[in-house]
Structures are given as C-alpha cells and as structure tokens.
Amino acid sequence: MRTIDMSTTPLRDLNAALQAQAAEQTEPTWEILNPRGSHAVAVGLDAPLAITIKGSTGYYCAGMNKQASIHVTGSVGPGVAENMMSGSVVVDGDASQYAGATGHGGLLVIKGNASSRCGISMKGIDIVVHGNIGHMSAFMAQTGNLVVLGDAGDALGDSLYEARLFVRGAVKSLGSDCIEKEMRPEHIALLADLLERAGADARPEEFRRYGSARQLYHFKIDNASAY
C-alpha cells in the first residue's frame, strides 16, 4: 500500500500520481492522510484502485471516477462523485449539495446525511443514503436508483424522467410530475441488492417507490404552469 500525506504533498502531485496508475497499474492500494478539507481529491481516475482518504474533503471529491473504489472516512463537500462513470465511492460521514450529480454509473454510498439536490440529473448511477436528503433531490434525474433510508426534503424528483426513487422515511413534498408508484417484486429484488451492497441495515419492504408520471416529457399547454 502506498501512503501519501497531504500535509507535505501538494494536491496536484497527489492527483497526478493517482492518474498515472491508469497506464502503470503498479500500485493498486492507496492511503491518503490529512486531506484537511482539500478540494478535488482523487478526481478523474480511470484505474481499478482502492483508495482510502483518512479525513474530510472539500468539493468534488472523487469526481469523474471510473473503476476506482474510494472510501472517505470523514465528510465531503459539494459534488462528491460528480459525473461518476463506474466504481464505488463510500462516505462515512455527511455530504453537502448535489452528491452524485450527473453520475452515469457506479455506486455512491453516504452513511450520514446528504444535503440538497442529491442525485440531480443522475444518468445511471446508484446512490444509497443511510440518513436524510435535502430539497430538490433527484431533480431531472434520468436513469439510475436513489435509495434513502431516512427522510426526503421538499420537491423530491421534480421533473423526473425514468430514475427510480426509494424512500423509507417521510417525504416532505413531491416535485412536479413525481408520484408514488407500486412496489413490484422486481423492485424489491433490486432494492435488496442495493441495500446489501451499501451495507444498509434495512428491509426493502419498508420503502416506498416514486417515479415519473410522464406528463412533462413533451410540452402541453395544459401543463404550462408546471414547467
């Protein structure tokens, strides 16, 4: 395992060393010490690395991740795992705004709470939040799954496309064109798999499913006030 201490190694050098592994693939396991809230830690990776970040980070941690498995032992700022393609990102603490935004694939696990706009414009990513999420989460979410073991804030799933939302707790309000839907056997199986992969202690039968009513896909004058 290679250990890098960010109290003595600049962020640019750290990210350059990690990104070099896309070609070299000689050091698969990394430990990053003293991130001290640094921004853009471990971004743009494209290699099957296992990375543990010991502490909290700033914005865009693990952004654009591909293949790597990244574990943050603290909390993260805005945009964790933004535009993630594959791999996994696990956050032991809380996440700020727009966690997993525009993510195309992979698994994002937040063991604490996530702030507003969690999963905004998600495009295939799976997100599991052990705590609560804030307002406008899954806004314009296109595909993928958002699982929330706690409560959801205002306007959940506003202008939703075909993403699936599963919430165990209370939902303060639903956004435009988002409705509660039936939990069929295939959804129970899907949710059971996601909960197991995320290490979540919950039963899929405890959740409700939300999705698009499909009334805003095309402009209709009768729905003008909802756009």
Residue 25 — very low, low, confident or very high, per pLDDT cuts 50/70/90? confident
Find out whether 18 and 43 touch, Cβ atoms under 8 Å. no
- Inform me whether the pLDDT recorded for 143 exceeds 80: yes
- pLDDT given for residue 169 in this prediction: 98
- Give the mean model confidence (pLDDT) for residues 99-103: 98
**pLDDT the model gives residue 225:** 73
Q: Give the residue, 227 or 76, on which the prediction is more confident.
A: 76
Q: What pTM value is reported for the model?
A: 0.95
Q: Is the pLDDT of residue 103 over 90?
A: yes
Q: What is the CATH number of domain 2-226?
A: 2.160.20.60
Q: Burial letters for 65-78: b for 16+ Cβ neighbours within 10 Å, e otherwise? A: bbbbbbbbebbbbb
pLDDT band at residue 66 under the 50/70/90 scheme: very high
Q: Region 150-163: what's the mean pLDDT?
A: 97
pLDDT greater than 70 at residue 205: yes
| Chain centroid, CA 37 distance in Å | 19
Q: List phi, psi (to 5°) of 22.
A: -60, -30
pLDDT in tens, 183-192: 999 999 999 9
With pLDDT > 90 as the criterion, what percentage of the chain qualifies?
A: 93
226 pLDDT band, cuts 50/70/90, is low
Judge whether residue 85 has pLDDT over 70.
Answer: yes
pLDDT at position 216 is 80
pLDDT band at 227 (very low <50, low <70, confident <90, very high): low
pLDDT given for residue 45 in this prediction = 96
